[in-house]
A and B are shown apart, each in its own frame.
Chain A
Amino acid sequence: AQTVTQSQPEMSVQEAETVTLSCTYDTSENNYYLFWYKQPPSRQMILVIRQEAYKQQNATENRFSVNFQKAAKSFSLKISDSQLGDTAMYFCAFTPDNYGQNFVFGPGTRLSVLP
């Protein structure tokens, strides 16, 4: 069975600083997709960043970047220049294919950005 682990239930960071959220996963698949989703307080969950396993280059989206280590099955999210609006629950997720059906989520990390 595929599993996703996020070992940090809660984190905090000062505004304008950098923070890294950890995620590890377990799968026997060779190609798959990894995601970070953000759920702000009382608002809907949105996609932050996506990584395809066969691509060696780490994905980036503005202040958000990932460190994808396929051999170690690690997929961490780095947030640079943290802003108050980054305060949210962050979920790491995995899907083994592109059929849009089989998603596995981690337990989440609650990130607080402090002024």
Chain B
Amino acid sequence: DVKVTQSSRYLVKRTGEKVFLECVQDMDHENMFWYRQDPGLGLRLIYFSYDVKMKEKGDIPEGYSVSREKKERFSLILESASTNQTSMYLCASALVGYQGGELFFGEGSRLTVL
């Protein structure tokens, strides 16, 4: 079974702190994603990566950056956390070329910024 593991389920940070959210997948998927989930808004794409060191901005990249130094690991970075970044963050991976590519999700990281 594909496993996508997010490093922290719950985090509480202070405004201005730097925050790292890490995600690891074990199925050699090329594509990895970071989504933000807010009530009534569904999932909004922050960034995705289609290869090591490659990234593309999603719909809401402002205030976030990402890093993919190894194929299996995709990190989301909040350089200076703000209260409006309090949210649930979901990591996902998908296989390139898989017919109707299915997304595999991690359990999510709930971030609270005080």
Contacts and interface: CB of A to CB of B under 8 A. Distances in A.
A44 B97 contact: no
Chain B facing A: main interface SS: loop
Nearest to A4: B42
A35 B45 CA distance: 17
Contacts of A47: 102-103
Contacts of B42: 4, 91, 105-108
A53 to B, nearest CB: 9
B41 A95 contact: no
Give the one of A37, A103, A105 with max B CB within 10 A.
A103
Interface residues of B, number: 29
A86 interface: no
Interface size class of A (residues with CB under 8 A): 20 to 34
B100 A52 contact: yes
A33 interface: yes
Contacts of B107: 43-44
Contact of A45 (B45, B100, B105): B105
A12 B51 CA distance: 42
B31 to A, nearest CB: 5
Interface in A91-106: 91, 93, 95, 98-101, 103, 105-106
A69 B105 CA distance: 28
The 7 closest A-B pairs by CB, nearest first: A100-B101, A100-B94, A33-B100, A45-B105, A105-B43, A107-B42, A105-B42
Interface of A: 4, 9, 33, 35, 37, 43-47, 50, 52, 91, 93, 95, 98-101, 103, 105-108
